């Protein structure tokens, strides 16, 4: 019967690893998204400054 317990533990470990990997991916994706948003905002601000000075 220890086989069933071992399989259950391995499944839990696998799920835990998959969850951590998914969370890390989401965090990386969010950071990238925030970076892109900041770049877009900066570009818009630069366009506004150019219009005002021109």
Q: Residues 30-40: what's their mean pLDDT? A: 93
Q: State how far the Cα of 30 lies from the Cα of 32, in Å rounded to an integer.
A: 5
Whole-angstrom CA distances from 50 to 2, 5, 36, 44 are 72, 67, 21, 10
Across 9-39, b (16+ Cβ under 10 Å) vs e yields eeeeeeeeeeeeeeeeeeeeeeeeeeeeeee
- The first and second tokens of residue 17, run together, are 């690893």
Statement: the pTM of the whole predicted model exceeds 0.75: no
* Residue pLDDT, tens place only, 16-32: 999 999 988 999 989 99
36: three-class secondary structure by DSSP:
helix
């Amino acid at each position: 019967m220890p086989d069933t317990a071992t399989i259950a533990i391995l499944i839990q470990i696998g799920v835990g690893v998959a969850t951590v990997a998914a969370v890390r991916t989401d965090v990386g994706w969010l950071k990238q998204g925030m970076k892109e948003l900041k770049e877009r905002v900066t570009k818009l601000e630069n366009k506004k400054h150019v219009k005002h000075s021109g």
